[in-house]
Homo-oligomer: A and B are copies of this chain.
Amino acid sequence: MSRKLYHGTAWYPELWDESVILHDIAKMREAGINVVRIGEFAWSTMEPTEGAIDVSLFAKVMTRLHAEGIDTVMCTPTATPPIWLTHQHPERLHVDDRGVVMGHGSRQHICTNNKEFRQRAALITEAIASELGRMPGLIGWQLDNEFKAHVAACHCQNCLSLWQEWLKQRYGTIEALNEAWGAAIWSQQYERFEQVPHPGPTPFLHSTSMQTAHRQFSMASIAEFADEQAAIIRRFSDAPVTHNSSVAFHVDNERLFERLDFASFDTYASAENYPAYLINCDLFRNYKPGRGYWLMETSPSNSGSIQGASVPHPQGYVAAEAAAAYALGADAFCYWHWRQHRSGCEQPHGSVLSAWGKPTIGWTNALEVEEARRVLEPLLLGSQPAVAETALVYSDRAKAFMATEPLKGMNYRGLMTGFYGRLLAMGIHRDVVPENVELEGRKLLLTPFLPYVSETFIGRAMAFAERGGVWIIGPFTGGRTEEHTIQTDAALGKLEQLAGVEAVFSYPLDGSGAIGEAFGMKAPLGMWGTVFETHGASSVGTLVDGLTPGLSFLTEHRVGDGLIVMLGAMPMGEEGDAMLRAMLDHYASCAGVTLRTDATSGTLVAPRVESDGRELWVIVNMDGRGGTVTIPDGTVDALTGEPVAAGSLAVERYAYRVVRLREEE
Contact = CB atoms under 8 A, between A and B. Distances in A.
A15 B202 contact: no
Contacts of A409: 308
A185 B360 contact: no
A366 to B, nearest CB: 14
A203 B94 contact: yes
Interface residues of A, number: 113
Interface in A571-587: none
Interface stretch (A501-509, A602-610, A632-640, A655-663): A501-509
A222 B344 CA distance: 27
Interface stretch (A81-89, A282-290, A465-473, A589-597): A81-89
B340 A508 contact: no
Interface in A43-95: 43-45, 48-49, 77, 80-84, 87, 94
B41 A309 contact: no
Given A108-B204, A308-B409, A507-B301, A491 B183 contact: no
Contact of A343 (B104, B360, B486): B486
Contacts of A182: 15, 341-344
A184 B44 contact: yes
A273 to B, nearest CB: 13
B547 A312 contact: yes
B207 A345 contact: yes
A169 interface: no
A560 interface: no
A199 B104 CA distance: 9
A161 to B, nearest CB: 14
A201 B307 contact: no
Given A185-B341, A186-B41, A547 B360 contact: no
Interface in A501-527: 504-508, 510-512
Given A109-B203, A181-B343, A199-B105, A355 B309 contact: no
A114 interface: no
Interface string A99-116: 111111111110000000
A487 B355 contact: yes
B188 A306 contact: no
Nearest to A194: B87
A407 interface: yes
Contact of A203 (B102, B209, B301): B102
Contact of A308 (B181, B185, B343, B407): B407
Contacts of A210: 105
B150 A345 contact: no
A42 B187 contact: yes
Interface in A536-583: 547-548
Contacts of A507: 301-302, 309, 312, 350, 360-361
A87 B151 CA distance: 27
B185 A344 contact: yes
A41 B185 CA distance: 7
Interface string A439-462: 000000000000000000000000
B185 A548 contact: no
Given A82-B189, A203-B150, A312-B508, A208 B344 contact: yes
A505 B491 CA distance: 59
A600 interface: no
Given A182-B15, A187-B80, A307-B407, A486 B342 contact: yes
Contact of A81 (B83, B104, B187): B187
Given A183-B343, A356-B486, 8 more contacts: A87-B195, A103-B202, A105-B202, A207-B343, A312-B508, A343-B486, A356-B491, A361-B548
- Which 8 A-B residue pairs are closest in the complex by CB-CB distance? A182-B343, A311-B511, A106-B202, A150-B203, A44-B187, A309-B508, A205-B345, A80-B187
